[in-house]
Amino acid sequence: MTDSPPIGLEADASSSRSPLRVGIYTGALLVIVMLGALVAANRIPQLEHYALERNAISYSLFMLFMLAPVARFWNSPLKMFASAMIAWTLFALAYDVAGMVFQNLFDSVRHTPLMALCEGAVVYGVFSVLAWVGAMILHARRHPIAPGRKTASETARHNR
């Protein structure tokens, strides 16, 4: 006899690690985009003529990767928020370290790592609440809100 867990438990363990995995991957992608943008802006002077395009590409990639936990866990707001906050915490830590390497980073961007972490929490919190409210609206549309009427036999049974 093997010591493997039942199929249902294995699936539950995999799904519970999924927000962690998505959060770490998303955080890594956000850090890579941030570092790429900082290196391109500060260490490659040939790209200065294309600053608008360079920044647009960086912002677009950042927004695309930032929305990964939202898209992955749209039907589970708690997992969405947990995954997103793991990613955003990794990003804020890397942003703090980048501020030590790139002098005056926090002055030019006007955001400290704590402010960036709080803004990320607010943005992801709004997405989580929107997903939760949307799920509640869909649930209310599919199921009657008012309880069904009791039959006469059920009413007589409760009155005894």
Q: What is the pLDDT of residues 111-143, one digit of tens each?
A: 899 999 999 999 999 999 999 999 999 988 888
Instruction: Indicate the pLDDT class of residue 19, thresholds 50, 70 and 90.
Output: very high
Q: What is the pLDDT of residue 124?
A: 97
Mean per-residue pLDDT for 21-42? 95
Q: What is the pLDDT of residue 106?
A: 87
**CB neighbours of residue 86 within 10 Å:** 20
- Which is more confident, 55 or 147? 55
Of 82, 79, 74, 89, nearest to 127 (Cα)?
74
H or E element that contains 14: helix 7-42
